[in-house]
Structure 1
């Protein structure tokens, strides 16, 4: 059995709670989360020690210990990507397959540094939104997409990734500029491509399902609502990555996504004006 190590900002969060059972099941018992490290305890959540005791996972006192004793590594902190570079530093020097949870990096510069470190030490590494693996996206024709209007729940800081990643996957990385058109409660961002194509993301609150309208150059249009079990496909892909060491998401896409997110947050302060990417 291969041992998985979790490295997190704090362990009492949804991804850390769900991933262990899912990965053990998806791997047919070939993989199991055995070790974990949490950087802080939050007063309104279970302590890292209490969380590990409940889950039957060994809490280690240092990131170094988790890296040394694990076969595969998962950097979590899904709602605090500003800590990903710090938390992944030793993992990316280990040569061991490492997954870094969404959102990968808060800036283009941080994303590039993390990939450079992984490449220097020949560490297989990738990051993705689980939404990438929704069946509804897999069935879409990518060629000829002229425009996309995307909708979904959540706040921009930790949920915009779930709309931006599918757009980059479908329309490519050649983004030229972004423009903030939303409000504080309903963030909205226009993503402009170098060739004139365009996409928008809209975050309309927790009751708004992930959905997307597409227009093709020849005039056809399509509407989809994400209803498939994308997390099970994501976890299956993650297990496959650990076994093969081959990520399915390209470095160029992940850096482009980080760049759009960074410029999107910057564009909030100058609404209705283009910010170059």
Structure 2
């Protein structure tokens, strides 16, 4: 029996919503399909929600309640507008149905904690992740003994820093203690200090810059990882496994740590070269 997935989005005509339905159906062998969707507004620069649904053969609903009722599993999208996640998630997180929330999980630490608390209270499986976390070049990295990481990538800090910070936290853990902005307006950069003096830097360059991690170990050895594998395929596979077994692929503590770093990184941009302490 085909399992039904419902989309809940700020507006539906965006890159993730355009790609996920085909990827999900293909990866599940047709056993999971996106069948219905809700968008809070029509895209300001693209197709209306009605046109998007017609183009994808997906039923448009006028309320989040209808999507929840018609779905076995839920995906909350709005990848570039996390400020709407809390509003979009209130009913899904009370549904008890496995819910994946797209990156960036929340605009700040307080909201992230509140979302997980609501999901826990109503026994709703919930997780979120950057797809880059699941690149095989990253998952195969030896974690023990990492002393420093230098990360580079493209995109703006506001909505692309998660693609650098998420792999760093997955490798170095959740014990980030403070951050410092060291970049420019066109090339944002930040130092993240972890427990025991370990450090990571993230650097944003132009659109031609590929995501890459360089690690130095306490042994003095250096390693470089450039994600060239099908990390979106791995990401979708883990999402489908989560829907089936209700077991999140990412520890909530890591997601909260990631959001904490992003939130305070944005604050650090206003006071360059000064440490901003992170809440524990």
Residue 66 of structure 1 aligns to a residue whose secondary structure is helix
Task: Tell me the equivalent position of 2:84.
Answer: 83
- For these two proteins, the number of residue pairs brought into alignment is 277
Could you tell me how far 1:42 is from its partner in structure 2?
Answer: 2.8
Partner of residue 173, structure 1: 174
Give the drift of 1:194: 2.5
Given that residues 11 and 42 in structure 2 are in contact (C-alpha distance below 8 angstroms), is that contact kept between their aligned partners in structure 1?
A: yes
Are the equivalent residues in 1 in contact too, given 2:12–2:43 (CA < 8 A)?
no
Structure 2 unmatched ranges of 5 or more: none
Query: Please, what TM-score do these two structures have when normalized by structure 2?
Result: 0.98
Partners of 1:139 and 1:113 lie apart in 2 by 32
Displacement of 1:205:
1.4
Q: State the partner residue of 1:69.
A: 70
Report the TM-score, using the length of structure 1 for normalisation: 0.99
Deviation at 1:168, TM superposition (A): 0.2
Deviation at 1:41, TM superposition (A): 1.1
Q: Partners in 1 of 2:17 and 2:60 — Cα distance?
A: 13
Q: 8 Å contact 1:155–1:205 — kept in the other structure?
A: no
Q: C-alpha deviations, 1:171-202, integer Å up to 9, x for none?
A: 00100000000111101010001210000000
SS in 2 for 1:146: strand
Secondary structure of the 2:210 match is coil
Distance in structure 2 (CA, Å) of the matches to 1:249 and 1:194: 21
CA distance in 1, matches of 2:229, 2:44: 35
Structure 2 CA distance for aligned equivalents of residues 31 and 212 of structure 1? 34
- Could you say what secondary structure the match of 1:232 adopts? helix
SS of structure 2 residue aligned to 1:189: strand
Equivalent residue, structure 1, for 2:255: 254
Once the 2 structures are TM-superposed, how far is the Cα of residue 44 of structure 1 from its aligned partner?
2.0
Distance 1:134 1:226 in 2: 6
Q: How big is the alpha-carbon RMSD for the aligned residues of Structure 1 and Structure 2?
A: 0.6
Deviations 1:199-243 (A, max 9, x none): 000010111000011000011001121111100000011000000
In 2, Cα distance between the equivalents of 1:64 and 1:96?
13
Query: Structure 1: where are the runs of 5+ without partners?
Result: none
The aligned counterpart of 1:207 is: 208
Alignment of 1:1-277 (within 5 A): 1-277=2-278
